[in-house]
Amino acid sequence: MVSAGNVSISSSSSNPRSVSDPNPHSDTDPRFYGRRKGKPLKAARQGLLESLLPHVRIERPEGPLDPTTLFAFKPTALRLEIGFGSGEHLAAQAGENPNTGFIGSEVFLNGVASLLRYVGAANLANVRVFDADVRLLLPNLPDAAFERISLLFPDPWPKTRHAKRRFVSPEMLDECARLLADGGELRVASDHPVYQRWTLQHAAVHTNFQWATKGPEDWRTRPVDSVATRYEGKAIAAGRKPAFFTFVRRNRAA
């Protein structure tokens, strides 16, 4: 057991490292577009980065990584959330599914600190964080590792010349299909019409996915087992209509 203030969390890490030593990047890594830090953090959240993050952080792997070994218990299933924002969705899912291991990736330091607040308050031992570009982690993970991958309100990069920056792409869909178990779900939410169309143009026609929809209400309504994110609330308040797409991984034998 490791302690962070009044929080006690199980950890399989015997050598936690400082927040000042982030997951390293090299000149050959894919280029990342986006913010890494926002407003200065308050002392409490900065303290979580220094005391709690080293114990839940996933180090950048140098070779194949079995994600089940990241936890101090044997998870019955694994889920991945790419770009968890402020962390409220990931934390709620983890709290409701204590036997499932959750991996969240986020490069925005303020978002990481926000998630740690939830992890610490609820003593969530089933959450691990990769605080770097998720593309540096995915290739090291095994086939069919996850029952669900969530991508909630990613940056839409609406300009045509920036389309290559969008996470949903043939290459990333191939990778998600590899990582999902048969029957697993890829969930994508967006409030931007350009990204909504882009997602359907790519994911809905991907040979390894089937769009799980019977009608408009299926994608106009957030899944019943998920919670609203802070960003979703802002989008609705601004008059933007979120769409929630679920794509099911087809059976490999088929």
Distance, CA of 32 to CA of 82 (rounded, Å): 14
Active site residues: 155
- Looking at residue 4, what is its pLDDT? 37
Tokens standing for residue 149: 């991958």
- Looking at residue 38, what is its pLDDT? 56
- Looking at residue 7, what is its pLDDT? 36
CA distances from 109 to 38, 46, 53, 84 (A): 8, 10, 11, 11
Distance, CA of 179 to CA of 199 (rounded, Å): 19
* Residue 92 neighbours by CB distance under 10 Å: 17
| pLDDT per residue of the chain (254 residues) written in tens, 0 to 9 | 333 333 334 444 433 334 444 555 555 555 544 555 656 777 767 877 888 999 999 999 999 999 999 999 999 999 999 999 999 999 999 999 999 999 999 998 999 999 999 999 999 999 999 999 999 999 999 999 999 999 999 999 889 898 998 999 999 999 999 999 999 999 999 999 999 999 999 999 999 999 999 888 889 999 999 999 988 999 999 999 999 999 999 999 87
Domain ranges, ordered by start, for the chain: 39-249
CATH class, range 39-249: alpha beta
Distance, CA of 242 to CA of 195 (rounded, Å): 11
- Looking at residue 253, what is its pLDDT? 87
Query: What residue type is assigned to position 60 of the chain?
Result: R
CA atoms within 13 A on the CB side of 195: 25
